[in-house]
Chains A and B, each alone.
Chain A
Amino acid sequence: MSDRAYTQTFSALAKLRIPAAAKEPAIVIPAVILGILALIAILAPWLGTIDPALLDPTQRNKLPGFVGQITLADGAKAPFTFHMGTDNLGRDIYSRVVYGARISLVIGAMVAIVATALGLAIGMVAGYVRWSDGLIMRFMDGLMAIPPILLAIALVSLSRAGLTAVIVAIAIPEIPRVVRLVRSIVLSIREEPYVEAAVTAGTPTPVLLFRHVLPNCIAPLIVQATFVAASAILVESILSFLGVGIPPEVPSWGNIMSAGRQYFRIFPHNMLYPGVCIAVTVLCVNVLGDALRDRLDPKLRKRV
């Protein structure tokens, strides 16, 4: 990308005020849907759900809308409507789907934060500390040569599956792309006359990076972080689906689908609901990312 594009990016970011953004449907609609999803995730226990891990062998493979019984904590039985049916272990799919939003959103957000933060730090070093550049970038090339899903699968297989392990395993393959982005920005910005003016003004390198270079990375990083989040949610669902991700009793959308595979021909609803949830969530994040990029990246916007 050209130098000018990045200098302009900030002014574009400054223009991204709430009222202006609020008029753009490509930003508002996905943001609202994601907000609702976040609310659902937070309020999961109060949305008519039961314990998503509760097994009941008597109520296996029920169709959506089935009215059955559940055993409460005190041992009493109560009637309960299974809006989305039950899986092959008799767990309530509706409850699992609602709780599953927590896993997907947490993973999306955490991976985006971890990958962009590490990528930013490494990319700044590679871009400004000359001797480290070759070393870091060769290592990143090696990391990029391993297909991301494969690397994530290998990484989770090595540790006892859990949320943290999955987050780390998904974040590591995302880092090289962030590093490359940040490095390319740093390399173009350091050639800017205003950065050179700061050099002749005797500004120490750390201050220079923080004051003049870092702000140029923010807008592109926000965009990149959205795409990382989308990809993370997808990869988590794939890992869970393949049975190598989060432990199967934890309700994640991928896990629900994984459990539903076996009886797919007879009970496709096991896969329908979580599948739609994943697709809608990732779609929202991607659309949001696209809209933000069009807004923040004047180079793409300029092409009338």
Chain B
Amino acid sequence: MFGYILRRLVSTIPVMFIVALIVFLMLRLTPSDPAAIIAGDNANAQQVEMIRQQLGLDKPLLVQLWVWLSSLLHGNLGESFFFKKSVTSLIADRIEPTLALAAFTLVIAVAIAVPLGIFAAMRRGSLLDRIVMGFSVMGFSVPAFVIGYALIYVFAIKLQWLPVQGYSRIANGFEPWLRSLILPSLTLAVIYVALLARMTRTSLLEVLGEDYIRTAYSRGLTPLQVLVRHALPNAAVPIITVVGLGVALLIGGVVVTESVFAIPGIGRLTVDAVLARDYPTIQAIILLFSFVYVMINLIIDVSYTLLDPRIRY
């Protein structure tokens, strides 16, 4: 088991290397001059040249790659142009709200979506099934910021139940913290619930068509027993796979949601960095989020071995 985890951990290195390579090449292979873009429209030639040197863009490509990778390996993500401090400390300052928002959303989304998907599959073609599927396709179609503003309008402005915007740190008390997270989490959860409910339903329907389900019925089990003992254990792997893949949506959603709710997290930082053309920060954020995504999916991969005896390690 330990050897397997180690092997899987090692296997993420090439993926992360390619992510780093893509991030590196993005800056160097754009048709326009990144130094000029970063400097902005009002910069003179001297300023552009300075930025070029700062980024090391004047050196040969392979040298640049070497410098960039070796500094990454030392945990040095560079210095932000805009905020004038190290990107590492910049991110450290902003990680709490993002982590809280993402974790909170993940929990409520799974708690809502999986049961919905199961009910829809069990009552296939019923009114409930259609409502769930209708909600799911709507969830895919309405942009998070529209949902966010609609929620703000109803619950914060009209009903005044919850704060409009902002984030209250957990150190400042649990209740304000929770209240500040409810609307953003709901906003962020919509697309995730839509995805997860739909995939739960699909996976379960697929499993329910398998031969061993027929065997279970032939042994006199009730539909509920068939679901709990045979269908769900087999549908678990595809369902948690989607939980992992959906994290990509969640991360994208964090950027939008934090912007809508003025939450000072990494998502907000992304937008600020892009608007300020703060490239070292953008690079670092992409690497960080990709790393998190790859690690979550690695954990999920490893958990397959607990759920399905056929997957060997």
Q: Which residues of A contact B (CB under 8 A)?
A: 138-139, 141-151, 153-160, 230, 234, 237-238, 241-244, 257, 264-265, 268, 271, 275, 278-279, 282-283, 285-287, 290, 300, 303
Contacts and interface: CB of A to CB of B under 8 A. Distances in A.
Interface stretch (B2-10, B171-179, B224-232, B267-275): B267-275
Contact of B274 (A146, A153, A159): A153
B143 A278 contact: yes
Interface of B: 14-19, 21-23, 26-27, 30-32, 34, 37, 137-138, 140-146, 149-150, 152-153, 157, 164, 202, 205-206, 209, 248-249, 251-253, 255-256, 259, 270-271, 274-275, 277, 279, 282, 285-286, 289-290, 293-294
A290 to B, nearest CB: 6
Given A154-B282, A238-B256, A257 B274 contact: no
A271 B143 contact: no
A143 B32 contact: no
Contacts of B23: 146, 154
Contacts of A155: 26
A265 B160 CA distance: 12
Contacts of A149: 251-253, 255-256
B15 A145 contact: yes
Given A154-B26, A282-B143, 9 more contacts: A141-B15, A144-B248, A145-B15, A151-B286, A153-B270, A158-B37, A283-B141, A285-B141, A290-B137
B69 to A, nearest CB: 14
Nearest to A275: B146
Interface centre among B18, B26, B143 (most CB of A within 10 A): B143
A283 B200 CA distance: 21
Contact of B209 (A237, A282, A303): A303
B128 to A, nearest CB: 18
Nearest to A283: B141
Contact of A147 (B16, B140, B252, B275): B252
Given A141-B18, A142-B19, A150 B252 contact: yes
Contact of B275 (A138, A237, A244, A265): A244
Given A142-B18, A158-B26, A160-B32, A242 B255 contact: yes
Contact of B252 (A148, A282, A300): A148
B140 to A, nearest CB: 5
B19 A145 contact: yes
Contacts of A278: 142-143, 146
A289 B175 CA distance: 43
A134 to B, nearest CB: 10
Contacts of A145: 15-16, 18-19, 290, 293-294
A102 to B, nearest CB: 18
Contacts of A159: 30-32, 37
What 7 A-B pairs come out closest when comparing CB atoms? A142-B18, A149-B252, A283-B141, A282-B141, A147-B251, A275-B146, A157-B274
Given A145-B293, A147-B289, A243 B275 contact: yes
A158 to B, nearest CB: 5
A195 B270 CA distance: 49
12 contacts: A139-B18, A141-B18, A142-B18, A149-B253, A154-B23, A234-B143, A238-B252, A264-B152, A265-B157, A268-B153, A283-B138, A303-B205
Given A146-B286, A264-B149, A154 B138 contact: no
B98 to A, nearest CB: 13
B270 A150 contact: yes
B271 A244 contact: yes
B251 A150 contact: yes
Interface centre among B144, B164, B259, B290 (most CB of A within 10 A): B290
Contacts of A158: 26-27, 30, 32, 34, 37
Contact of A153 (B141, B206, B255): B255
Interface centre among A139, A153, A257, A282 (most CB of B within 10 A): A153
A160 B31 CA distance: 10
A111 to B, nearest CB: 16
Contacts of B289: 146-147, 150
A6 B70 CA distance: 47
